Structures are given as structure tokens and as C-alpha cells.
Amino acid sequence: MEVIKDAPMLFTETYKGKKIFLTGHTGFKGSWLLVWLHQLGAKVKGYSLAPEKADDLYHQLNGDSLCESVIADIMDYERLEKELLAFEPDFIFHLAAQPLVRLSYEKPVETFAINSIGTAHVLQALARLNKPCNAVMITTDKVYHNNEWIYPYRETDQLGGYDPYSASKACAELVINSYRNSFFNINEYDSHWKAVAVARAGNVIGGGDWARDRIIPDIVRALRNGQPVSVRNPRSVRPWQHVLEPLGGYLLLGHYLSVAPYQYSTAYNFGPFMEDNMEVEDLVKVALEIWQEGTYEVQQLKGQPHEAGLLRLDISKAINELKWKPKLNAAQAVERTINWYKEVSSGKMEAYDLVRRDIERYVTA
């Protein structure tokens, strides 16, 4: 496959020596992307809140040694604009967000503000930048109006959102479309030199994620504490994918923006093949088998916040236009993820070495 075979050279040629402004660099996905960009020889400036805990992945990776790190709020527009304009980036990857569905029920206004107005702040600062720049704006697969049908959602399907998180990301997409039409219109590219694309990724798993109310961190915490894994929605189906799958898609999309901004300034789904979706209970069973111990129990809870039961993505656009497609199936993604936590827990390898190893294995496979 072309992108797999050529990815090391393609990514190096695109990003080596380039300035990358990475929002959300202290988060789970941001930390993995930071290591990858550092390996490619990019100069990264990160902008994010501080990691929530001292043992978060960013600290385990010694993230401050991999970038110029700015610890600040995406809602502080003056600071954001100052840092972005001073850096003069060639690329922007916008990952900063409030990413948790259940937390969005507790903090709906904050979720809407961060995910929609925070996105507007990044785009407004980009509009003030007086040089060429390509921006990949990360949203989510949950931006679609979810009818919970078996048909996979395409990029042209209706946006919506039941819960505050999903709706806030759909709002972010409206903000992006408005800025793209009003300030970064592709028909006027020669006057502004900006290309903006959207990446919609499914449920991402991988080593180093410690967020609450996410299935893999919940599994690992329970196993480490010798407790049964508590399963809320055993029949729910999600487009599980290893973290490197969408990150590779983001990097590839950034590359194509730099080559043909007129063609690729649009939205793309990044997820597993439709037949590879896995129920929550099956994922838990696979994880326990790999960990080689532990049990689980299904919670019988009432009055819980609504969470979608079925969600599938159509990734044919990314396959056809970007020559991207998944390299790991769901079971392989779970295996690599659980083994990552096992190796860190055993002290056999450091987190940074594991992330580097997994990136190299993924790119060269």
C-alpha cells in the first residue's frame, strides 16, 4: 500500500524542520503526536493546559524536552494569538478539547465553550497569521446526528449531537466551515495562503491514557487494584482504533494540504473497517485474556447519562483520496494497548521508549 510503504520518507519530507503549532499537546493523543513529530525532526510549539496528574503520559515522556511548551488556556485568546503569531507555524494541529462525554453532562457550558469557541480562537489567530499555513482541526466521529442505524456515516451526512460533548463538536464544525468560507475560502487561496481540513476520528485507544470514564483506563485501573472491571454498556458498539491510526491520518492529511490545498480542504473520517467494530464486552474479554488475569461485572445502573449504543464510520473517502486505511484490527489494537500498560507496570521499558517503538513498528509494518 502506497502510504504505508512511503510513509517514513513522505512524513519526514513534509515535516522535518517545519514549525508545528500543536494544541492539546499535554493530552493523551497530543503526547503521542508530539513524540511522532519530534521523531520526524519537526520544531513543535505546544499550547495546552497542564496535565491533570503527575503521572500523565506527557510527564512520563518528559514532554517539555520535546517541544516549546506553553501552559495556557485555549479560552485565553490574547495569549493564544500572541504565542501562535510569534511562532509563525507552517502547520497547526488543533487537538485541544474537553473530550469526555460523561463529563460534558457535568460541565455542559464549559464543554461548549472549549470545543466551539476555543476552536474559533485558533482559527481567528490563524486568520491573523501573515504567511502560508496548513491547519488540521480534530473533531470526532460523534459530530454526526446519530440514528444508531447499521449504515456507516459519511462526511456529507447531517451533523448533530445528543449529548453536550457531541453537540459541542458539531458546533465546532460549523465554526470551522464558517471560517473556511469567510476567511480561508479556497477560491481565494492566493490572497490568504491558508488551508483548513477536518479530521473525524473514532474511539481511540492506546498506552498512556488515564482519562476517567474511558474503557481501557478503567480496565487497567481495575486490574492494577485487583478489582473486577465494571462494564456500563456491554452491548455498545464503537469504532475502536489504536491511537496511531488516526494520528497517521492527521499527518497524511497535513501533507496533502501542503501539496494541493484546493483539493483537500475538507472533512475526512478516520476509523476501522466497518466489519471490525467490537462490542464493549468483547473488548473487555480480549483485554483480560491479554492481561492473563482479572474478571468483569456488568453494572445495572439506572438514571445514567445517555451514551450512543451504535456508531459506525464510512472511511472510503480517506481510503480513496488520501490512500489511507487501517493497519491494525480492533483485537490487535487492544493487544498492543494492554501490552503497553503491562510493560510499563513491570518496569521493563520506559513510556517514551514504548511510544517510539510502537510508532516505528506502525510506520514500517
Show me where the domains of the chain are located: 2-202+240-272+307-327
Mean pLDDT computed over 291-310 = 72
Question: Regarding the domain delimited by 2-202+240-272+307-327, which CATH topology (the fold level of the hierarchy) does it fall under?
Answer: Rossmann fold (3.40.50)
Q: What is the pLDDT of residues 94-133, one digit of tens each?
A: 999 998 888 999 999 999 999 999 999 999 999 999 999 9
Mean pLDDT computed over 3-7 = 50
Q: What is the pLDDT of residues 39-76, one digit of tens each?
A: 999 999 999 999 987 679 999 999 999 999 999 999 99
Mean pLDDT computed over 269-285 = 88
- In three-state secondary structure terms, 293 is coil
Q: Which of 326, 344, 336 is nearest to 202 (CA)?
A: 326
Task: Give the phi and the psi of residue 61 in degrees, each rounded to 5.
Answer: -85, -5
d(CA 74, CA 307): 27
Mean pLDDT computed over 280-305 = 84
Question: Is the alpha carbon torsion for 228, 231, 234, 238 positive or negative?
Answer: negative
Question: Where do runs of H (alpha helix) occur along the chain?
Answer: 2-15, 28-39, 57-60, 77-87, 101-106, 108-112, 118-128, 164-182, 189-192, 215-224, 244-259, 261-264, 280-291, 316-322, 330-346, 351-364
User: If you average pLDDT over every residue of the chain, what do you get?
Assistant: 91
Give the model's pLDDT for residue 306.
52
pLDDT band at residue 233 using 50, 70 and 90 as cut-offs: confident
Of 4-18, 237-251, 297-311, the range with the highest mean pLDDT is 237-251
Amino acid occupying residue 267: A
